[in-house]
Structure 1
Amino acid sequence: MAGFSFAAGILPSGATVTRAAGPYSFTGSNGLTQFGSAANVARFDFDPVTLACRGLLLEPPRTNYIVSDAATIPLAQNIGSTWVANTGVAPDGTTTADRLVNTNANTSHGFVLNASSSRPAGPLTLSAFAQVSGLPRFGLRAYDGAKYFHRGTFDLTTGTVGALGGVGTAAIVSYGSGRYRCSTSGTSAAAVQTYIMEAGTSAWTVQQTSQGDGVSGVYVSGVQLEDGLVATSFIPAPTAPATRPGETLSLNWAPQGVTDGLYSVLYTFADGTMQPVQQQVTGGVSTISPASLNSYTIRSVSILQTPASRTISLGDKAPRSATLVDTGSRSATILT
């Protein structure tokens, strides 16, 4: 079967990734976050825990609307907490994670973050990397002026979503060494500008008071606010909001004997799911953008179906045969 595999962490012959220059990141083969900005560089994402190659990372354009460097991150309001910069290890292995510490008071704790500008009504995702620094729970909330339309609390000791409030979803992904990427997603009915990060005790769920000790907290890094209902790879925004350009994947099928026509092409993703996509091969080449895909980490691509009026024969030494014809008048003669 004609196809391309990205499981080895290298771009196979005939595959080309196109992307304009701009900030991007991915998890390298050492399990650490890697950064770059060069155009047309394929990103292969590795599991930060097992170090296995997950596949080719192909993502749509996204903007991180929250400045991510501790020196300039817009901490608009302190809610019973203190912020200590560059005290923990971030996913890239550098000591650039910041520490959110709860004050010695029985009150609400956290920080309000203001994005560069209000985001219009619609789908939004807020995410951050978090790790225990004395407190086991971490919370993210988004407020649209009337309510917290999505909010989540994460257990950083078990790697699970501890509680979920509002209308939305929450996800937590391990990045090894007790570090997790936490995210909440939801669709707001009004413009949104206020976002909150919190640290809490093991009994803490969503938006509640707790007794702090002035010492315990949570390490935080890689804060990101983006449009859409899924957290894409982290976009470094050290001094101002930054945009990761979108990518496209072009595949040259001609050397594999695939002629021009409309094909059903099967995309297999890192999470094991699959998606058949109708693709036109012209001049031997097909091109796809991630907007057409259900997932953004591709393990392999293969031809499922030949175009109309083309026949493929497969055979061994047995004298029997069978012809299969689908509803699109495509046929394959199999000798068995």
Structure 2
Amino acid sequence: MRTPIVASLVHPMVRTIGEAGAQRYFGPSLSLDFINQQYSMGAVWQKPTAKSFSALVTLTRSTGGGRFNAAGVYEWVAANQPRFDYDPLTLTPLGLLIEEQRTNLCLQSDSILTLPWIGQTGSIESTIPSPDGTFNSTRLNYGTVAQTYQLLTVTPGQQYTFSYFVRLGTKPSNSYAVYDHTNSAFLVAATVNASATTARWTRLTVTFTTPANCTQVRIYPDRNDSAGVTGTIYLWRVQLEAGAFATSPIPTATAQVTRAADVVSVNVMAPWYRQSEGTIVVKGDLLNRNASTKVSVDIGAGGALGTTLFIKHITSFDIANPDTAPISVASIANNATLGFRCALAMRRNDMLLASNGALGSADTACEIPVSPTRLTLGAGGWTAAGGYLNGHLRSVAYYPRRLPNTDLQALTAA
């Protein structure tokens, strides 16, 4: 009589006693570890082999893009190259940065003494390096009441996010503001930036909405409204972008600059994908969690919405939408944090999403996409999808079987 050794997440190789050499590998057939930059792929039930990033993942971005490197220095990565991002303070790896297209509307983002900037005198700093490791920040010198601002054209009724890096010198504080130039009123009143310090660079971000008839705003990365406040302050990489949150900083000079979207996918489904059932595990974080759809993974063939299977993240939930119309039927798990750890078990009429160790609702009327051609990462894979993650993917793994619910919880626990 054959006695099977039960496969588990701890011991993924199973061997059936009595069948010499008969083994099945129950671990992931596709593994993308963007933290340690280790990747593997194999046939269903076979132990996978190590691969390079470029052998498995296709990434296109028609422009350069920024990220903090392993030394905590901000750098501009060439077009079509992955952006493995790091925390600039702790140097902790964050994973693969995936963002939508954004444009920095502010000119002379680093040279704040150059037109069209209006205001204070100063100089290019030569002793304190900027976040990019060079000496290209602006040092402003205050001896009395003064303001530094740029006048920019905007669209009425649009959300914008204003951001900049600041470091205090001898000036004791930094204050920012946004002014509706069209209607002569503040949209964001002068506010002290409590995070500004002499010890290091910090980034300030503030989001606002332009009124219905507002066509121009002034952005102030520093205002000095008190006669007794004097001294020096350092500013770098001022940015104004349309959107509800700040994305990675984009350098500008005499013209606005656009950073293109990151388009990332695994374009080969064989031999790792199993049509009848499977489990996909994805971990990462968001720059912002609001009502707009942010997709971490999508399996399909690029058809219309409702023909792919994807995991999305919105205000208070992580949601798995199946290849079934209507897509309002889904497996939903509560999650209001920026981080996500999701495991989606997939089988016809049997779909369940676990998020951060908790099981969501079950979906018992669903399909798995037939003959998918790609696994899209960090965006929707359906026609004209959008749904960019705007965050980091830490890891993606695919198991060619429907894992037990207890395993879904274990794989997504802290």
What pairs up with 1:161-200 in 2 under 5 angstroms?
A: 178-189=200-211, 190-198=214-222
Amino acid at match of 1:135: K
Give the Cα–Cα distance (whole angstroms) in 1 for the partners of residues 234 and 210 of structure 2.
Answer: 28
What pairs up with 1:20-35 in 2 under 5 angstroms?
A: 20=62, 22-35=63-76
Give the Cα–Cα distance (whole angstroms) in 1 for the partners of residues 99 and 277 of structure 2.
Answer: 24
Q: How far does the alpha carbon of each residue in 1:291-326 deviate from its partner, in whole angstroms, 9 at most, with x for none?
A: 42554111122458x8xxxxx377xxxxxxxx88xx
Could you say if the C-alpha distance between residues 49 and 229 of structure 1 is closer, same or farther in structure 2, counting changes exceeding 3 Å? same
What's the secondary structure of 1:41's corresponding residue? coil
Give the Cα–Cα distance (whole angstroms) in 2 for the partners of residues 297 and 60 of structure 1.
Answer: 12
Give the Cα–Cα distance (whole angstroms) in 2 for the partners of residues 261 and 120 of structure 1.
Answer: 50
Which segment drifts farther, 48-57 or 261-270? 261-270
Asked whether 1:227 is paired with 2:316, we answer no
What's the secondary structure of 1:300's corresponding residue? strand
Give the Cα–Cα distance (whole angstroms) in 1 for the partners of residues 243 and 98 of structure 2.
Answer: 16
2:171 corresponds, among 135, 150, 158, to: 135
Paired residue for 2:307? none
More strand by share: 1
Q: How far does the alpha carbon of each residue in 1:167-204 deviate from its partner, in whole angstroms, 9 at most, with x for none?
A: xxxxxxxxxx511111111222233331112156xxxx
What's the secondary structure of 1:287's corresponding residue? strand
The CA RMSD measured in Å over matched residues stands at: 3.3
Paired residue for 1:112? 149
Give the Cα–Cα distance (whole angstroms) in 1 for the partners of residues 173 and 155 of structure 2.
Answer: 27
Paired residue for 2:263? 248
Give the Cα–Cα distance (whole angstroms) in 1 for the partners of residues 36 and 273 of structure 2.
Answer: 23
Give the Cα–Cα distance (whole angstroms) in 2 for the partners of residues 7 and 66 of structure 1.
Answer: 33
Give the Cα–Cα distance (whole angstroms) in 2 for the partners of residues 123 and 65 of structure 1.
Answer: 13
Asked whether 1:149 is paired with 2:177, we answer no
Amino acid at match of 1:209: S
> Unaligned stretches of 5+ in structure 1?
160-176, 201-207, 307-311, 315-322, 325-336
Scaled by the length of structure 2, what TM-score is found?
0.58
Amino acid at match of 2:34: F
Scaled by the length of structure 1, what TM-score is found?
0.70
Paired residue for 1:83? 122
Report if aligned partners of 1:27, 1:47 keep a CA contact under 8 Å in 2.
Answer: yes
Report if aligned partners of 1:76, 1:113 keep a CA contact under 8 Å in 2.
Answer: yes
Report if aligned partners of 2:64, 2:80 keep a CA contact under 8 Å in 1.
Answer: no
What's the secondary structure of 1:292's corresponding residue? coil
Paired residue for 2:396? 301
Give the Cα–Cα distance (whole angstroms) in 2 for the partners of residues 209 and 281 of structure 1.
Answer: 67
Identity in percent: 24
Give the Cα–Cα distance (whole angstroms) in 2 for the partners of residues 275 and 125 of structure 1.
Answer: 29
Report if aligned partners of 2:378, 2:393 keep a CA contact under 8 Å in 1.
Answer: no
Paired residue for 1:121? 157
Paired residue for 2:101? 61
Give the Cα–Cα distance (whole angstroms) in 2 for the partners of residues 262 and 227 of structure 1.
Answer: 41
> Unaligned stretches of 5+ in structure 2?
1-27, 39-51, 286-337, 347-367, 380-385, 406-414
Superposition deviation, residue 256 in structure 1 = 6.1
Report if aligned partners of 2:378, 2:389 keep a CA contact under 8 Å in 1.
Answer: no
Amino acid at match of 1:4: L
Pairs aligned (count):
276
Asked which structure has the greater RCO (Cα within 8 Å, sep 6+), the reply is: 1
Give the Cα–Cα distance (whole angstroms) in 1 for the partners of residues 157 and 141 of structure 2.
Answer: 32
Give the Cα–Cα distance (whole angstroms) in 1 for the partners of residues 402 and 35 of structure 2.
Answer: 29
Report if aligned partners of 1:27, 1:34 keep a CA contact under 8 Å in 2.
Answer: yes
What's the secondary structure of 2:244's corresponding residue? coil
Asked whether 1:212 is paired with 2:252, we answer no
Superposition deviation, residue 28 in structure 1 = 0.9
